Structure 1
Amino acid sequence: MLVSAVLAVFGAVTFAVAASSGVKGSAAATSADYFEAWSIGDVEGMARLVYQPPGDFRARHLAMSGELAVESIELRPGAVKSTGAETAEVPFSGSRTLETFGAWPFDGTLRLAVRDRQWKVLWAPETLHPLLKDGGTVEVVDFDGPSIELVTREGDKIPHNSYADSTLARLRPEFEDSNVGWALVARAPGRPEQRIMTVEPKADVERTTLSSSVQAAAARALDGVANSAIIVLKPGTGEVLAVADRLEGGYSAFHDFFPPGSTFKIITAAALMKAGLEPDAQVACPGSYSFPQRRAFTNDGGVDRGLISFTDAFAHSCNTTFVEQSLTRLGQQDLRETAHEWGFGRPMPTGAQGACGSIEDPADPDFAASNAIGQGTAIATPLCMATIAAAVQDGTWRTPRLLTKKQVTRIDGEPPAPVELDSRIVANLRDMMRAAVDHGTASGAGLPDDVSGKTGTAEVDGQRSHGWFVGFREDLAFCVFVRHGGSGSAAAVPVATRFLNGL
């Protein structure tokens, strides 16, 4: 107590002497003004209280606040201590609140002296923060956490031999922020780097909509089948239950377009029924048909089936029937408008993006005929054709997704609203696709009894045809695509058989 009293008296005498000698202000008043200006961010006011402030005084303060994302600062000055006749210091504690890390407490010392007959702050970088002494720096740096792991809807790991890698690779960059950590790092010459505060990366697991069992069955069905893909959807929600993509040459079942061949007859049949053609109506299925003065279209193998129901013309995939009926019943825009209703031209925000298909209004009857059988200007992705099968099963067209609705909206934007389809047409298409498996182009292939579907063979100039098969079974809808694999019946249906029997 005696020592403290003596020091207090000595300090008072010192300040009194300074005042009597014409020194302007006091250490207490100058320090109080400095702390007040500092607390409200008045850098210019602080600079006026500093003796010969460096040229970067303002820049240093602003940079520290900006680069560290300082939201606020709290300062708690201690008592003024005399350190000589015309020098003093004020110990203080403080806390900066950083946007990333929260409260960052620190201790410091404000030094003062009489300069040019007035009390001034003797500023040095360590006044701002002790870690800045001797050329020290403080900065926020990021660091990588573990790579994001995408798992199935059940939380299981997705095996590397599932053929889903190329699709999942498009998802991973969307979660880069979730596996980045942040550290407040101090550095100084001759001293080891110091991590002062750390924000660890967020959880590194993200669930997809993929089903462990369905994905496994799809992948095994493609074993040994090069240049192929299977996409499986849950019709009632649009969730992608499996995506096994073995397409070569950088092609993607989600993003690249191919002529859909006779699978597009689902759309053409819908347009013809809208125009009044009933499923039980008797239609001609000659081996060859040509519109007057136009090219001839033939059935596979030139088969002439005579007069049959429209349902059987669909089941047997009669090109000639669909060409004749389309040219005589449909207007120039009818097929395109129906295709749009069933998803063509609509965005597909899956989380990994995606596309459906497109078709142009025909310039002449030859193009109109080609469009009707999925050639000409008609193109679609395997993802798109899976949604067509799902729409038949469910009665509503909806965009597919690989993630939660919230994540898909964040990544790809708001998905288009579901489209409720004509219930009569949908019911008829279910019967027609059932007929295709029962006694049509997909019959006798060992498919389970409750499968409905439609084959497609898409011709490619100078190359082997693409094989397609789309269909549904209970609450699963699927598309099998074998690029340059040959006919849908020979190339795609056996893959679908292995997949469905492997579930």
Structure 2
Amino acid sequence: MRERWPLLMVAIVAVLVVIGAVVLLVAPDPATRAAVEPAGPGEGTRSEPRRELTLEPVPSGTMPADPFTSMPPGTPPPSESVPTAPPADAPEPVAAQYFAAWQAGDFAVMASLVDNPPADFADRHRRFTADLRVASLSLNPGETRRVADDAAETSFQGVREITGLGRWPFESVLRLGLRNGVWKVLWGPETLHPALRDGGGLRLVENKMTRPATLTREGEPFPADSRAGDYFVLGGAWTQLSLEEVPSGNVLLSTPEPEGDGTRTTVARRVQSAAARALDGVGRPAAVVAVDVASREIRAVADTLGAKGAFNGLYPPGSTFKVVTAAALLRSGLTPQSPVPCPASYTIPNGRAFTDSDGTDHGTVSLSTAFALSCNTTFARQAYERLRDDRLRAEAADRFGFREKPGLSSCRIQPAATPDELGADAIGQNSVQASPLCMAEVAAAVASGVWRQAVVTPGADHGPSVPMDDGVAASLRSMMTAVVTEGTAARAGLPSGTAGKTGTAEVAGAPAHAWFIGYRDGLAFAVLVDGGGSGGGTAAPIAAKFLKAL
């Protein structure tokens, strides 16, 4: 028994050690105990809210780090509040993307930005364009403004070009809304045009109209196929096209009634016929305009340019504008005999280079010869040396009608901001633009020594007349004669007594315009072939055909 007692004591101690170790392992630490045990008197009882963690998959053979024990000592536990959703995108980028896609005709992108777009979203846009004959669309969005936390709108303006009617301005609103945290376009038919709101519609209406035909100055109808239908009522019948709202019938746009109530114009039947036949076989859009030098009455307008381009169109006149530049140089002290350089290339000091089409260095020649050869280098240099301080623009505006003015013709020139611009203006490029009628008025001014606006209605007001210096007018007449006898129009077959000036007007990315202006036997004229290339090779022969038919 005594031998067993020590062994029993050892066993009891071992059991107590094991029990103590187990108690230490399962007991919570003080921090944990403080969180779950009741607080002291007067504090009540609280417990931590339940935390749910979402764990990422753990690669095989690794253990995830404990999100709490891995924090530095003293770091407070993560916030227990529910995280807020990230802020929604702003509406501005959505509106901008929609307008850009609309301008590009990308209906798929447009539909992707719309909240619940109709199934025929793209077809509606296509039908709208086709039914109303929309040739082009331009959009000008305003600022996007919030009208509520989840709503915004963008007011915008637009212009549609309607075939047969012209420009059709409109205004509308693009509405946007916040849908499931994403800004979307809230599209309705009124987005296309306000007239489509609440089931409204738009339609094109054609009405056949009959009116007495416009007559020539002789009191006769215009000759057949006169190519003057954009300007006068021919044959007494015409079609009025109008754009109307449905169902109100309100007319938004309509073709104006053409002039013509059986009264006479200043057009001469024989001259009109010759102008129209001169364009037979010309494969490019073109125009021939003729003006009586003494009366400044329009004797003919044959036009395949469209949109009354012979009167209102604005085209770079190219070297035909050298008539105006030459007038300014003559007023600066030069004469037709003054020696001037005509190199193959000339560079304005610290500026751009100008070249001649034939690439030939003609050396020093007279101003008249440089004009006849149409030396770009000569006129760019002389303008730089003699016509700075706005002298060229003033000559064109004050003495040749290149300014805003009432009347039938259109032409303009801007002040040159740099020597390079001045050099380009001097050869009829850069800011210089003119219609064929404007350039016919220039030719008539040289022939008579007085600039006046042309008219097409007998007895109409010509406005003020601007006389030229006698010496300048006489010098220009001799220089324009040299163009036909020995210059760029010498091979065009023009009849004797013709004086004129060729022009080849460059157009970026397109063929050059072909010009020829001049006068003969009291009739001034201008010929333009849009994209026709060489003035001497294309426009001057048309002028020859016209003059020989008179």
1:399 to 438, 453, 473: 453
Structure-1 residue corresponding to 2:138: none
Q: Aligned-pair distance for 1:288?
A: 0.2
* AA of the residue aligned to 1:153: R
1:491 to 538, 542, 546: 538
Is 1:446 the counterpart of 2:500 in the alignment?
no
1:252 to 309, 319, 327: 309
Distance in 2 (CA, whole Å) between partners of 1:348 and 1:161 is 30
Distance in 2 (CA, whole Å) between partners of 1:496 and 1:255 is 21
1:276-295 aligned at under 5 Å gives the runs 276-295=333-352
1:228 to 286, 291, 296: 286
Q: Aligned-pair distance for 1:314?
A: 0.4
Distance in 2 (CA, whole Å) between partners of 1:348 and 1:500 is 30
8 Å CA contact retained: 1:464, 1:485: yes
Q: Which has the larger Rg?
A: 2
Q: Aligned-pair distance for 1:146?
A: 5.4
Q: Aligned-pair distance for 1:415?
A: 4.0
8 Å CA contact retained: 2:268, 2:299: yes
Q: Which structure has the highest helix share of the two?
A: 1
Structure-1 residue corresponding to 2:214: 150
Segments of structure 1 that go 5 or more residues without pairing to the other structure are 1-143, 177-202, 409-413
Is 1:237 the counterpart of 2:301 in the alignment?
no
Q: Aligned-pair distance for 1:302?
A: 1.2
Is 1:209 the counterpart of 2:253 in the alignment?
no
Higher RCO (Cα < 8 Å, 6 or more apart): 1
Segments of structure 2 that go 5 or more residues without pairing to the other structure are 1-207, 241-259
1:449-468 aligned at under 5 Å gives the runs 449-468=496-515
Distance in 1 (CA, whole Å) between partners of 2:406 and 2:468 is 18
Is 1:337 the counterpart of 2:357 in the alignment?
no
Secondary structure of 1:271's aligned partner? helix
Q: Aligned-pair distance for 1:491?
A: 1.2
Secondary structure of 2:300's aligned partner? strand
Q: Aligned-pair distance for 1:483?
A: 0.5
Change (3 A) 1:348 1:492: farther
Distance in 2 (CA, whole Å) between partners of 1:346 and 1:416 is 13
Structure-2 residue corresponding to 1:347: 405
Secondary structure of 1:157's aligned partner? coil
Secondary structure of 2:429's aligned partner? coil
Distance in 2 (CA, whole Å) between partners of 1:491 and 1:348 is 32
8 Å CA contact retained: 2:223, 2:269: no
Distance in 1 (CA, whole Å) between partners of 2:212 and 2:388 is 51
Distance in 1 (CA, whole Å) between partners of 2:406 and 2:482 is 30
- Normalising by structure 2, what TM-score? 0.56
8 Å CA contact retained: 2:215, 2:264: yes
* AA of the residue aligned to 1:299: D
8 Å CA contact retained: 1:332, 1:361: no
Structure-1 residue corresponding to 2:368: 311
8 Å CA contact retained: 1:230, 1:243: yes
Is 1:470 the counterpart of 2:517 in the alignment?
yes
Structure-1 residue corresponding to 2:113: none
* AA of the residue aligned to 1:164: A
Q: Residue by residue, what CA displacement relative to the aligned partner does 1:82-129 show, whole Å, maximum 9, x if unpaired?
A: xxxxxxxxxxxxxxxxxxxxxxxxxxxxxxxxxxxxxxxxxxxxxxxx
Distance in 2 (CA, whole Å) between partners of 1:467 and 1:150 is 31
* AA of the residue aligned to 2:298: V
Distance in 1 (CA, whole Å) between partners of 2:233 and 2:439 is 22
Q: Aligned-pair distance for 1:159?
A: 2.7
In the TM superposition, structure 1's runs of 4+ consecutive aligned residues that sit over 3 Å from their partners are: none
| Number of residue pairs the alignment of both structures matches | 319
RMSD: 2.0
Secondary structure of 1:458's aligned partner? strand
Greater Cα offset, 324-333 or 433-442: 324-333
Distance in 2 (CA, whole Å) between partners of 1:272 and 1:145 is 53
Q: Aligned-pair distance for 1:419?
A: 1.3
* AA of the residue aligned to 2:543: A
Change (3 A) 1:148 1:348: farther
8 Å CA contact retained: 2:288, 2:302: yes
Secondary structure of 1:205's aligned partner? coil
Structure-2 residue corresponding to 1:480: 527
